[in-house]
Amino acid sequence: MAGLTAAAVAAVAFLAYQASANAPADVSAEPRPTTSAPAAPATNGPQQPPKDPLAVPANSGSGARVVYALAERRVWLVDEKGQATHTFSVMPSTVHPVPGAYTVTSRSGSVRGSDGVQIEHVVRFTTVEDVAIGFSAAVDGSLPTPDPERKTGGIRMKRADGEAMWTFASIGAKVVVVA
């Protein structure tokens, strides 16, 4: 047992020697993290301000409408003055609407989605490849990535966002889909 202990002590001493041999003579010579903000990178032109999440896409029409940006996976609820009253991210379905203007054609308070999940605040606005496309919120609050092997049309949102959509988008409300 004494032999094992001696071997372990020798191994630790050797590793400590290696570590000290590779350390700088003055530890204070190492760069230290700073608390100031990093310098802004040099640019060749004017910088773009950060994008305002409430900024409604410019190519989305006018008046009261729901705007769904496919690439951004974001929805805006826009009032008559063209101001966003609510915006939120969504999880798109596997079947997508083409960019264009639509109207809300049907609504359901609570149903089972095409993926088998219990959903609420369903607001449908078109059909693509025989799949109804609309906004909804899962009752369990989940936002799973849809199975790419299944044709689904539910554009999922959080429950609170679903309530806002339900209140805003009645039958006949305008829905604008942008790329």
Q: CATH number, domain at 90?
A: 2.40.440.10
What is the extent of the structural domain holding 148? 65-178
Residue 57 domain flag: no
Where does residue 94 rank: exposed (0-12), middle (13-18), buried (19+ CB within 10 A)?
A: middle
Taking the mean position of all CA atoms in its chain, how far away is CA 52?
A: 15
Among 144, 153, 94, 151, CA closest to 126: 153
Residue 151 lies in a domain: yes
Who has greater pLDDT, 64 or 36?
64
| Cα dihedral sign, 76-79-81-83 | negative
Q: Quick check: is 95 in a domain? A: yes
Asked if residue 125 has pLDDT above 60, the reply is yes
Please indicate, yes or no, if residue 30 is contained in any of the structural domains. no
Q: Is residue 21 part of a domain?
A: no
- Mean per-residue pLDDT, 9-17: 43
Within-domain flag for 78: yes
pLDDT at 76 over 90: yes
0.75 exceeded by the pTM? no
- Between 21 and 95, residue with greater pLDDT: 95
Residue 123 lies in a domain: yes
- The one-letter amino acid code at 74 reads R
> What total number of domains does the chain contain?
1
